[in-house]
Amino acid sequence: MTVLVVGGGITGLTAAYTLGRAGIPTTLVEAADRLGGKVLTESIDGFLVESGPDSFISYRPAALELARELGLGEAIIGPTHPRTVWIRSRGRFVQLPEAMGLVLPTRLGPFIKTAMFSPLEKLRIGLDLVLPRDGLDRDVSVGAFLRRRLGGVLVDRLAGPLLGGVHATPIDELSLLAVVPQLRDAERRHRSLLLASLASGRAAKVGGSGSPFVSLVGGMGQLGGALVEAIERSRDVAVRMNATAVALGRRGGGFDVRLANGELLRPEAVVLASPGPATAALLHEIAPVAAAHVRWITHGSTAVVSLGYRLDQFPKPPTGHGFLVAEGEPLAVDACTMSSLKWAGRAPHGTILLRLFIGSRSGGVLAGSDAELVALAERDLALAMGVRGAPLLVRVARSIGQMPKYTVGHLERVAGARAALAGLPNLAIAGASYGGVGVPHCVAQGRAAAARVIEALSGGVPGPAEATVTG
């Protein structure tokens, strides 16, 4: 064996696939009994249920290119129309204004007309037009940056639910430079975030616009499945399931990797695509400084509760792609995606599939049972939307201690870990803990990790050899 890939999520699968395409003998070990990590799609009684991400961003090309490379070009779909999103604020639903960029309007008209903010609140947001740049280079929280420029109301009702919910991290802890560095760049170039957003809106109008999100006809699991099939066809990649790497040591120019069952693998290069806490544990002996930096990247827990209902269980037909929950609302859920209204083919006729996210607002409730989480989700839907009766389908998916929190200083921690590994070119770390939590980020990191170890192997590291396995 030449390369060992630890972790069979999208990052590890991409790395193993890339190595196999390059003809590098590779073994992938996965601690669980399935591949794909957080990406999981299940077909249940006509519902297509996503336990993890339901889409990816097309303007970051890595995932789109991979899907097409795997023969999934015809399976790529965009969201349905209308692409309405609601904010649950002050006990009612308010439509997210049309022509919104990241957290700001790209056209003034819809923003001026929105009922989300009062006239005085809009004036406070408009102060951004005259405020000076902060002139700082250091990292700050997204919340602090936006509160200074746009006021607390926009953060609590819009930016917090949008950004904090996606990253399962309170916006006042979320790193500006790691999550939305374009806001700092916009302030430097335009001074005003509003002016920068309006300029981007004009550019999009010239270049054409549409939703940046795409998915697959068979759900996101179709991407993971295609990767697994491609790996299975490869003569150069072997997969070991229920195989947990528990220790990593140096052996000449290569490594000794001990599995939980006592087996010893001896690869010439290693890609650690495992969750951050597991990677830190493996690095502890051979790269303690890198391990410390990775350990400082905190990881939280989240849950997704998927519920299917008949449409007649709603007092009026639901519309739009879902809703976000503003700060101060008496709800446990962070957000709700109306999956079958957002993506075609997700629910049988006359029914609707919803995904409710729990974690960043009410992390303490995750200690409860699945039944308790479902009860909270049903309660919130009854309160917010008037849903009556029991759901037709119930599915709970948890991610315990595996959701990286990109808090202030995240980029410094990642840079410190990578610098500490500079002397080990045949070892790479990759995954959501470091360079982005989205599927495109993970795919790109898997490719980059494979490229790193391929380069190391071609630069004088011992050539291809079979794994040595001992008791």
What would the two tokens of residue 306 be?
């998927």
What would the two tokens of residue 382 be?
């009854």
Give the end of a domain, one of 207, 242, 264: 207
The answer to whether residue 471 scores a pLDDT higher than 50 is: no
115 and 146, same structural domain?
Answer: yes
pTM comes to 0.91
Average pLDDT over residues 78-92: 91
pLDDT of residue 465: 30
Residues 109-162 have pLDDT tens digits of 888 999 889 999 999 999 999 999 988 889 999 999 999 999 999 999 989 988
**Do residues 121 and 153 lie in contact, with contact meaning Cβ atoms separated by under 8 Å?**
yes
Q: Percent of the chain beyond pLDDT 70?
A: 95
Name the domain count of the chain.
Answer: 3
pLDDT of residue 461: 40
Residues 254-309 have pLDDT tens digits of 999 999 999 999 999 999 999 999 999 999 999 999 999 999 999 988 999 999 99
Read off the CATH number of the domain in which 360 is found: 3.90.660.20
445 and 397, same structural domain?
Answer: no
59 in a structural domain: no
**Do residues 293 and 413 lie in contact, with contact meaning Cβ atoms separated by under 8 Å?**
yes
363 in a structural domain: yes
What would the two tokens of residue 456 be?
């190391």
Range list of H helices, 271-428: 276-283, 288-295, 339-342, 370-385, 410-420
Q: Which residue has the tokens 């309660």?
A: 379
Q: Which residues of 155-183 are buried (b: 16+ CB within 10 A; e: fewer)?
A: bbbbbbbbbbbbbbbbbbbbbbbbbbeeb
226 and 161, same structural domain?
Answer: no
Residues 195-253 have pLDDT tens digits of 999 998 787 665 445 678 999 999 999 999 999 999 999 999 999 999 999 999 999 88
422 and 346, same structural domain?
Answer: no
Domain ranges, residue 22:
3-36+222-297+407-457
Backbone phi and psi for residue 27, each to the nearest 5 degrees, phi listed first = -120, 135
pLDDT of residue 175: 96
| pLDDT bucket at 191, cuts 50 / 70 / 90 | very high
414 and 399, same structural domain?
Answer: no
What would the two tokens of residue 372 be?
């308790």
Read off the CATH number of the domain in which 157 is found: 1.10.3110.10
Read off the CATH number of the domain in which 280 is found: 3.50.50.60
The answer to whether residue 169 scores a pLDDT higher than 80 is: yes
